[in-house]
Chains A and B, each alone.
Chain A
Amino acid sequence: MRVKRAFRVWQRHFTVYTKLYKSSIALNFFEPVLYLAALGLGLGAFVKEINGMPYINFIAPGIIASSSMFAATYECTYGTYVRMTYQKTFDAILATPVNIDDLVAGELMWGAAKSMFYGAIIIAVISLFGLVKSPMILLVVPLLFLTGLIFAEIAMIFTAIVPGIDSFNYFYTLLMTPMFLFSGIFFPVDTLPDVVTKIAFFTPLYHLVNICRSLSQGELFMVRWDIAWICAAAFLLAPYPFRLMQRRIIK
């Protein structure tokens, strides 16, 4: 794998994105704000406070995490799949000096970059609404790249093994939605039975939500283990998308 060749793939996605961003960014921005308004204000009128925080302040950092997560997974499931099969973009790229490993690396880096970007937008929005206490929230941005990489890796592993585009329904319904609901975005996980807490510990979203929430309160020291967890996960998952995509594409 060559970094420069992987960057060429990344650059292709960036070029396409800068052409289409106006339509896609509005939607991606709209959904998280909708959650924030509906749950934060609507439900928040009943819940009042969690852990000493107004409910809307409690879920706002979680929305950074979920928005960032879905940006990476959509990109590396549907986005990658369409490029690989329907558009045959991969075939075109692989006829150039770019090899399969460069291509997969470029896809993952793009997913991670997009994840960071979409998370950063939410950080800007909730800061504007005054829902963030500490400027330490800015430290989340580089970490979003790392968690974005994890989500991209997981998504790409599925993309490499699904028989068809409909199979992503399983991925989203059985994996992403439960993770979205039970990772502490909307309520603290420790109120649930012990087993749920234990499962949550093994999901990247749980740690990202911890990081976002703690840093928005200016508590850096508390999240050192969460940071260690995501560094380890990004590293340990890395070989699989490469291996599986190679098996899928190179006949």
Chain B
Amino acid sequence: MLISNIIATETPDNKIRPVRNRKKAAVVRWYNQDVEIVKAEGLVKDYGRLRALDGVDFTILSGECFGFLGPNGAGKTTAMGIIYCFMPPTSGTVRVFNMDVGESQSSIKSRIGVMPQEDNLDPDLSVFENLIVYARYFDIPRRDALLRARELLDFVELREKSDVNIRSLSGGMKRRLILARSLINNPELLILDEPTTGLDPHSRRSVWEKLKFLKSKGTTLILTTHYMEEAERLCDRVAIMDAGRITSIDTPSALMAVHGGNLEEVYLKLTGRKLEG
């Protein structure tokens, strides 16, 4: 309770186009209730002989925050990569915004933001240029891109680093810049692969608050994480994955009610490794 109060004062609630968007978001949320943003059926993905996803089904609804939890190699990143059309499924169907990932890659990707696990910022460009160059891939007109880039740097509190070289940013700053970059096209769906891995507690909080703010605006979020606290705080529903399968999908509270304990204990019980081992 106390912590959430402190965080609330940090919430940057007048940064990204405040009033207009909040109203619009409310309308969009009402209108989009239970609209399926992502629908995967019988999803299988093989890398050579290795089966990374073994018949996975899930549906992600508009405006929710959906988490993939699971040990390394469980297939989380693969599932996300297929959603943002980075790799094709071996079999099964995946539809995003009601379009097939195999057919409408560019249209799907133009409405998605991706925050990858590792740092892939452009090391030859400054903080600001990273955003501007990225905006060009989305065909955002230069004037809008400049405006948007400034807004986003305010949002992630990097404005004073605008002209700085990427190499001189701290890990936390890089993560925030990657978050800003993923928002350049005002995405309806934001995909976050371990958004806070390797961050100190303060930076982690700061990223969480940004994500909560985006969610309150109506952005659909999909994330993977190893931090149960992160999942509990952010996710409306989580899918617990193990060895390429989803062992269960539900709200964190329902999972805890059924399996007992906190989410970490549920996770350990369902993925089954550390408890027995």
Binding site for B on A (CB under 8 A): 2, 4-5, 8, 11-12, 15-16, 19-20, 87-89, 91-99, 250-251
> Could you list 14 examples of A-B contacts with CB < 8 Å?
A8-B136, A11-B136, A12-B133, A15-B129, A19-B124, A87-B123, A88-B116, A89-B120, A89-B122, A91-B86, A92-B134, A95-B114, A96-B134, A97-B106
Q: Which residues of B contact A (CB under 8 A)?
A: 47, 84, 86-88, 105-107, 109-110, 112, 114, 116, 118-125, 129, 133-134, 136-139, 181, 185
Cα distance, A162 to B109, chains bound together (Å)? 29
Contacts of B109 in A (CB 8 A): 95-97
> Nearest chain-B residue to A88 (Cβ)?
B120
Given A8-B137, A12-B133, A15-B129, check contact A91 B106 (CB 8 Å): no
Q: Let me know if A99 and B105 touch, CB within 8 A.
A: yes
Main secondary structure of the interface of A (DSSP, over half): helix
Q: Which residues of A contact B122 (CB under 8 A)?
A: 12, 16, 87, 89, 92
- Complex: A88 Cα to B119 Cα, angstroms: 8
Chain A residues closer than 8 Å to B134, beta-carbon distance: 92, 96
Given contacts A5-B106, A251-B47, contact A98 B125 (CB under 8 A): no
State whether B106 touches A94 (Cβ < 8 A).
Answer: no
B124 touches A20 (CB 8 A): yes
Q: Which residues of B contact A12 (CB under 8 A)?
A: 122, 133, 136-137
Q: A12-B122, A19-B124, A97-B107 are in contact. List 7 more A-B contacts (CB 8 A).
A: A5-B137, A11-B133, A12-B136, A88-B120, A91-B120, A92-B121, A96-B134
Report the bound CA distance from A216 to B86 in whole Å: 48
Give Cα A232 to B88, complex, Å: 34
Q: Which listed residue (B87, B110, B118, B124) contacts A88, Cβ 8 A?
A: B118
